[in-house]
A = this chain, B = another copy of it.
Amino acid sequence: MNIKDVSVRVGLPAKTIRYYEEIGLVTPDRAANGYRDFSAAHVHTLTFLARARGLGFSVEDCRELLALWEDQGRESADVRTIAQQHLAQIEEKIAGLQDMAATLSDLVRGCAGDARPECPILQGLAGETAQTSCEKLP
């Protein structure tokens, strides 16, 4: 199967697939004309990669997961450990973003959004308290 068909099937840009070959995540065969030739197994691997990357696993995580995936003798505990670590990271990220969102929406809520130059958002970003006075600056 040529790269474009694979690309459509697994939902990854052709460029990305070539890149994955470059870094050794897939190694498609080559046809006589030099075109990459992907087997069903390669497509399966790429589907795996697309999904894992979509779930936020880093490429190096993916490499590890792929190795486990292809290793018939691996312990599912290893996989579970990686997944759990990753889950913890995601949850941390979510918490961080929620913090951000809360701060930002506080700032937005305090902002009249009119033509006056006083803007609580900028004041907030500048580290001031969200009041109009500037006298307490350090």
Contact = CB atoms under 8 A, between A and B. Distances in A.
A97 interface: yes
A131 to B, nearest CB: 15
Interface stretch (A12-20, A24-32, A70-78): A70-78
A117 interface: yes
Nearest to A68: B122
A126 interface: yes
Copies of this polypeptide in the complex: 2
Interface in A93-132: 93-94, 97-98, 100-101, 103-105, 107-108, 111-122, 125-127
A47 interface: yes
Contact of A125 (B65, B75, B115, B127): B65
A88 to B, nearest CB: 10
A44 interface: yes
A42 interface: no
Given A56-B97, A100-B90, A79 B122 contact: yes
9 closest Cβ pairs, A-B complex = A76-B119, A80-B113, A77-B113, A80-B111, A69-B122, A87-B104, A75-B115, A90-B101, A94-B97
Contacts of A44: 126
